[in-house]
Amino acid sequence: PTPAPTPSYGVNFASVAINSNDTVTVPAGYTVDVVLKAGDLVEPGTAFVNGTFPTSVSQTAAWAGGNHDGMEYFELSGTDANSGGLLAINFELPDYNILFSNGTYNAATATAEQKQIALSAVGIAVVEVAKGTDGKFAVKAGSRFNKRYSGNTNYRVGGPAAGALPSTIRGMLNNCSSGRTPWGTYLTCEETTNNYLDPTQPNNSYGWVVEIDPYQELAPATKRTAMGRFSHENVAYMTDANNRVAFYMGDDSTPGCIYKFIPDRAFNLNNRAANTDLLDYGTLYVARFNADGTGEWRAMVQGQNGLVAGAADPGNVSQSTTPPTPTPVNFNTQSDVLINAQSAARVAGGTVMDRPEWITVAPNKQSIFVTLTNNGSRRVTDAANPRVTNLHGHILKFRETGDSPLATRFTWEIFLQAGNPSLTEANLKGNISGDYFSSPDGIRIDPQGRLWVQTDHNLTGNAGTLNGAASNMTQAFGNNSMYYIDQATKQSKRFLVGPAGCEITGIAYTPDLKSFFINIQHPTGNWPVSGQQPRSSTIVVRRTDGQPVGN
């Protein structure tokens, strides 16, 4: 394809400075409200009280879970979508500090009740939110849409691997990031393939994309096995004029591949129910990035691309200059391919990447961005993963042939390499112009085409040599934060800095872009309620002059 015209949407906020303060810092003229904290009520019950700890899952089952991550905003018919709607929010992990008196959890020694309490704090919540007369969004208590789905809930299983799994699976967990379908369902992603909170649960049951209808009209929550089992990060879709769709997905593993799933059928926007099992029939592909800037999608179909009995999994070819010994693996059925998708992807020729986190598709369909958050263990580089000991990560951009979701080929480029230009090591400086960062994770292009990036660096982790001395991530980058990046100039501007200890994740917004919902995950200081236990929370950021964010 010809080079895509790169849109450039200005922003008029003044960059926030790097800091390690225990508060959410936003530009002048912006304001922050907390919408939903871990332990707040989603369903009727008794909310968390600071200084006390739950003794029964009957208490915590009604609460918002912990480690808020991916999130989507859904419109409600009959409601002005800019003033109210539904938020579906992922809970990646429990906020252990509000569940257990010593703040820790050990699956090997936990009682049955403690396991259930921990499992109640993962999964998702759907909450109705509405703007009050003070202009602040708040959860609408008692809404019939407010509902928890947790690690204790039973899930339906759909797709080709259903026959090889229990007919009902207890629990979903590590609900990391998320996505949505064109027909208005929520896709929540399990970023683990085992139930480490309760290892007695059967293996193979986790690592799926789970489809949940926030309106509770379609099928019950269903694990969609056709989309493959791996450490799912998020899902982003692209449609075409014929209502065909592709779903793009990353496997946040060290290393992991990039996938897309193309349902066999077109979706139907006039009849939601017609889409109920659309995600059970289709083809999963893995991306191969060639050194010449081209790429191809390899079908992960049993009998094709080496996916047969007696296949050889090449393993993690990036972690040592001495290639690992290939592992024999049998792909006798499509279930084998989907349940063992990470191995199948490598056999099929997928490129092992530096931990693919979120993917986002531009509204004009001419570019797709993926964050490769970091991979300190990379020793063998390739064109798409060009740095050894990639502590700070990079962002890759690709374009489908014909800007079609059905394409089997694409072109790609490295959009930017993260880092700090003051670091001594050449492989750690990066090439960001403007406000630099490490470990891009959340990424989303809003409907006006503005590109937003959120970071998840390990605050105490090694960052490289700064001013002649070893530095950690907080010294080199401050607290985790959120950026606007101009797609044409690649100029980066820091929009928000989180409180102590947190990661910044989750991006959702009202249609007028005047209210941005953002998640503050695992704060460790004194936020959001002074003098109380820190709690992961959903916040809403808006401008005090009532104009769209970033505009």
The residues binding ligand FEO (CB under 6 A) are 92, 176, 191, 233, 252, 357
For residues 349 and 343, give the distance between their C-alpha atoms in angstroms, rounded to a whole number.
10
**Cβ-Cβ contacts under 8 Å for 58 (sequence gap 6 or more):** none
For residues 379 and 65, give the distance between their C-alpha atoms in angstroms, rounded to a whole number.
38
Q: Which does 251 bind (CB under 5 to 8 A by kind): ligand FEO, Ca ion, none?
A: none
**Residue 176 CB, nearest distance to ligand FEO (Å)?**
3
- Does 456 help bind Ca ion (rule: CB under 5 A)? yes
Alpha helix ranges (H) inside 179-221: none
DSSP one-letter string for 15-34: PPPP---SS-B--TTEEEEE
**Residue 399 CB, nearest distance to ligand FEO (Å)?**
24
Cβ atoms of 367 and 256 closer than 8 Å: no
Specify the residue, 41 or 176, whose C-beta has the smaller distance to ligand FEO.
176
The pairing of strands 222-224 and 154-158 is parallel
Specify the residue, 84 or 440, whose C-beta has the smaller distance to Ca ion.
440
Specify the residue, 92 or 128, whose C-beta has the smaller distance to ligand FEO.
92
DSSP one-letter string for 294-324: EEEEEE--TTSTT-STTEEE---TTS-SSPP
**Residue 441 CB, nearest distance to ligand FEO (Å)?**
6
Does residue 342 sit in helix, strand or coil? Answer: helix
Residue 242: count of CB within 10 angstroms of its CB: 9
- Does 441 help bind Ca ion (rule: CB under 5 A)? yes
**Residue 480 CB, nearest distance to ligand FEO (Å)?**
12
Specify the residue, 146 or 454, whose C-beta has the smaller distance to ligand FEO.
454
**Over the range 98-136, which residues count as b (16 or more CB within 10 Å of their CB) and which as e?**
bbbeeeebeeeebeeebbbbbbbbbbbbbbbbbbeeeee
**Cβ-Cβ contacts under 8 Å for 112 (sequence gap 6 or more):** none
Of 313, 337, 316, 317, which Cα lies nearest the Cα of 326? 313
Specify the residue, 122 or 407, whose C-beta has the smaller distance to ligand FEO.
122
Specify the residue, 13 or 369, whose C-beta has the smaller distance to ligand FEO.
369
Of 227, 192, 205, which Cα lies nearest the Cα of 156? 205
Specify the residue, 40 or 441, whose C-beta has the smaller distance to Ca ion.
441
**Residue 505 CB, nearest distance to Ca ion (Å)?**
6
Binding span for Ca ion by CB under 5 A among 25-33, 384-392, 441-449, 474-482? 441-449
Q: Which does 400 bind (CB under 5 to 8 A by kind): Ca ion, ligand FEO, none?
A: none
For residues 247 and 118, give the distance between their C-alpha atoms in angstroms, rounded to a whole number.
31
Cβ atoms of 87 and 72 closer than 8 Å: yes
**Residue 357 CB, nearest distance to ligand FEO (Å)?**
5
Q: Which does 280 bind (CB under 5 to 8 A by kind): ligand FEO, Ca ion, none?
A: none
Specify the residue, 25 or 373, whose C-beta has the smaller distance to Ca ion.
373
For residues 252 and 265, give the distance between their C-alpha atoms in angstroms, rounded to a whole number.
28
**Residue 135 CB, nearest distance to Ca ion (Å)?**
30
Residue whose beta carbon is closest to Ca ion? 456
Specify the residue, 131 or 457, whose C-beta has the smaller distance to ligand FEO.
457
Strands (E), 384-500: 394-400, 409-417, 433-434, 440-445, 451-455, 462-466, 469-472, 481-485, 491-497
Residues 332-361 that bind Ca ion (CB under 5 A): 357
Residue 549: count of CB within 10 angstroms of its CB: 25
**Residue 438 CB, nearest distance to ligand FEO (Å)?**
15
Specify the residue, 411 or 458, whose C-beta has the smaller distance to ligand FEO.
458
Q: Which does 191 bind (CB under 5 to 8 A by kind): ligand FEO, Ca ion, none?
A: ligand FEO
Residue 21: count of CB within 10 angstroms of its CB: 15
**Residue 92 CB, nearest distance to ligand FEO (Å)?**
5
Q: Which does 40 bind (CB under 5 to 8 A by kind): ligand FEO, Ca ion, none?
A: none
The maximal CA–CA distance of the chain, rounded, in angstroms, is: 65
- Does 191 help bind Ca ion (rule: CB under 5 A)? no
For residues 82 and 80, give the distance between their C-alpha atoms in angstroms, rounded to a whole number.
5
**Residue 359 CB, nearest distance to ligand FEO (Å)?**
12
Binding span for Ca ion by CB under 5 A among 49-57, 435-443, 445-453, 539-547? 435-443
Name the site residues for Ca ion (rule: CB under 5 A): 357, 441, 456
